[in-house]
Amino acid sequence: MRLFLKGFVGLSLLNGMLFASKEGVETLLKSIDQDAQVIERIAEQTRMSEPYQPYVMSVFLGKELEQLGVSNLKEALLLVPGVDIATDNMDNQRLIFRGSNPFAFGQSKLYIDNIEVNDLFFDSYGNWLSMPIEMIKRIEVTRGPGGISNGVNAYAGSIRVVTYAEHLPVDKSPNRVVAKGGSYDYLMGGAVYRYAKESFSLYMDVSYQKDDKTLPVGYDSLSTGRYGTINEPLSRSGDAPLWMRNYMVGLRMDYGPFRLDARTLYNERGSAYGINGALPQPDDHAKFPFTYIQLSYSEKIDNIYFSINGGLKYSAFKSASMLMPEGLVSSGTLTPDGFIPQPFVYTDGFYGIHEVCQRQLYHSAYASYNGVSGHRFDFGYYLSKEETVKEVTITTDRSDGIGLVDYSQTLPFTDPDAKRYTWRVFFQDRYRYSRNLTLQAGLNIENNSDISAQFNPRVSAVYQPDGANIYKLIYSRSIRVPSWQEVYTLNNSARVGNHDLDPETVNAFEAAYVRRFGLDEFFQLNLFYLKNSDQIDNLNSDYQYRNSGSTDIWGATLEYKVHMMERVRLYFNYTVLNGKKSNGSPLDNVAKSLAKATCYMPLSENWSLGAVARYVGSKKRADYDYRTDDIPSYSTLDLSIGYQKPRDYKISFSVKNLFDADIRYPSEPYNYDDDFPAEGRTVMLTLAKAF
């Protein structure tokens, strides 16, 4: 890659070199090398170097996604090969990479401008999925573990969102405002602003979104007998409250080697399908605030680049909801001394106010050294302390069902004194063995209060016989640490924490072939085999989180991207996967076929058409599920027409799910038997103005 870049820069200086003196030639060669290093650094930050990386990656540019009519981060990520989506009773959505444990959070990690934003309680990034695409410059997704170079080995995949806070020498000003409106009374307003003078720069983005979405849903979990046959008549169907109120503010300030990054997200939404599976009231809600601030110092001295970081994260889960309907017959009373089997009726229903606030303090250091010919060494460490700083449990009086009682001290829903300490060290060497072969080996060692030390190696080889053909072999091991919810949940009949959990473990074996046709045109074949151990779920009669078994998953992904008639862009990917569980049964709740396609077509100098198509195959129920029917497959088509005056304004109109396909996300057994619905046909109007 370096040789290619040097040649690219050098061509522009060739004529000058022909007539230069010896000193002039040396000066020009030095200039070429410096320019090549700058371009290489840019290439590593953008998809210019994507095919050469020792990972299996997908990179999407925000501007191109806008042209396709993609509205937010969720819609963009659903274009990634092998990625599907699932949800739960709180509509806490999560991505499924290659069929890995569809009922677990934390399988993948989301980074915004290199800072992890999975929340501390669920280990989820579902609240960030509505991030407007206009705030995103680039999305980089690595399938499989080990895709982040700073020592964090995500379990099933890692997602790196780059905002316009990144400003490279070739970038134009990102300043603009945007407004949207659409179905379910959706409204959005936002802006991006950047200012720079000498060694100081300031970046800010801000957005606000709201909608009043409800979706019709079948009878809730009371109909299944989960809470006793006596309560089955209380089961209801109707409209699930999925409304949203969301705002986000991002900030970056640079001054010389110092950098300050800060971002806050406030997401309030309806209680969806009910925390415990009972259809909630229209105004029942949950709030998910998240804030981080990080201070960094970076410097390059000769052949060493290093960065020192320290930060604070704050996240919370706050819920106020009718958890069970009026007239519920309880089989007994939960007290600090245990369960007393004495039935009585909650005449006014069972209402709950739950809140947990958590704080994380962390520090990390990273260094890269390329002073040894052919080698680049990366090493560093990470230290973290997570703790609960506030816990509130207020529910209907558990003794007589009358009024609200504060049980925060006697029956908290999560451990109010929980703390978790984490340390991590890593080392890797990327070695250019020859002009055609690059090898990489690394080791990540991780330990925290809830698990023993884990050793996660990674090795890879990238072979390039020429500039057009690239071959990759990759092995990596990674873990998923049990989430706070899985370990520390208390006094909840639907979720029972477990301090004896082992981390989930994956050993991933991958091979890839890339054929390049141009800078942004390629064909890629990826073969993978994933051996997952100690999978965590609470699908048992006690609803306790346990290490329930293992899965072996194997499959293949095809990708093809090409430009036609100069400006028409076509992209297609198809993933097929299969596997089995430790008991010999086939994979459940996983689509074995996934296909995605996009097309961007200019209609004139200013008008364009974008199309996005997706196919998700049927999903087999688990062998322990009393429902025998498969979750049906579905296909969707999104169309968008836009008018854009470059560097001025744009208008676009999009129709999502044009043919109103019936989309269902799998529910757990003894939950909503008809599963969880997704939106049907929707529309979106977008207006944007650049400055």
Name the nearest CA neighbour of 105 among 675, 580, 489. 489
Min mean pLDDT across 163-167, 519-523, 651-655 is at 519-523
Min mean pLDDT across 105-114, 171-180, 330-339, 357-366 is at 330-339
Could you give the angle at the alpha carbon of 663 between the alpha carbons of 99 and 637, nearest 5°? 95
- For the beta carbon of residue 407, count every other beta carbon within 10 angstroms: 20
What is residue 152's predicted lDDT score, i.e. its pLDDT?
A: 66
What is residue 163's predicted lDDT score, i.e. its pLDDT?
A: 97
Residue 10 has pLDDT above 80, yes or no: no
Grouping H, G, I as helix, E, B as strand and the rest as coil, residue 497 is coil
What is residue 15's predicted lDDT score, i.e. its pLDDT?
A: 40
Min mean pLDDT across 22-26, 480-484, 574-578, 677-681 is at 22-26
Average pLDDT over residues 521-532: 96
Residue 401 has pLDDT above 70, yes or no: yes
What is residue 154's predicted lDDT score, i.e. its pLDDT?
A: 82
d(C-alpha 278, C-alpha 346), whole Å: 14
Residue 44 has pLDDT above 50, yes or no: no
Question: pTM of the predicted model, to two decimals?
Answer: 0.91
Average pLDDT over residues 21-37: 49
Helix (H) or strand (E) holding 261: strand 258-270
CB 258 within 8 A of CB 303: no
| Eight-class DSSP state of 117 | -
460, β-bridge pairs: 440, 474
Residue type at 102 in one-letter notation? P
Q: Which residues contact 15 (CB under 8 A, 6 or more apart)?
A: none
Indicate the pLDDT class of residue 31, thresholds 50, 70 and 90: very low
| Eight-class DSSP state of 172 | P
d(C-alpha 614, C-alpha 636), whole Å: 5
Q: What percent of the chain has pLDDT over 90?
A: 80
Domain map (residue ranges) of the chain:
1-45, 46-690
What is residue 183's predicted lDDT score, i.e. its pLDDT?
A: 98
- Greater confidence, 375 or 34? 375
Sign of the alpha-carbon dihedral angle for 51, 53, 59, 64: negative
What is residue 34's predicted lDDT score, i.e. its pLDDT?
A: 45
CB 586 within 8 A of CB 579: yes
| Burial class of 338 by CB neighbour count within 10 A (0 to 12, 13 to 18, 19+) | exposed
- Greater confidence, 531 or 493? 531
How far are the Cα atoms of 302, 372, 438 from residue 428, in angstroms, in the given order? 20, 14, 13
Average per-residue pLDDT for the chain: 90
The string of DSSP letters for 297-354 reads EEEEETTEEEEEEEEEEEEEEEEEEEEE-TTEEES-EEETTEEE---EEETT-EEEEE
Name the nearest CA neighbour of 73 among 158, 134, 130. 130
What architecture does CATH give domain 46-690?
Answer: Beta Barrel (2.40)
Min mean pLDDT across 40-54, 162-176, 502-516, 518-532 is at 40-54
d(C-alpha 2, C-alpha 537), whole Å: 46
Min mean pLDDT across 60-64, 303-307, 562-566, 677-681 is at 562-566
Min mean pLDDT across 37-41, 582-586, 618-622 is at 37-41
Average pLDDT over residues 455-480: 94
Indicate the pLDDT class of residue 206, thresholds 50, 70 and 90: very high
Q: What are the tens digits of pLDDT across the range 239-282?
A: 999 999 999 999 999 999 999 999 999 999 999 999 999 999 99
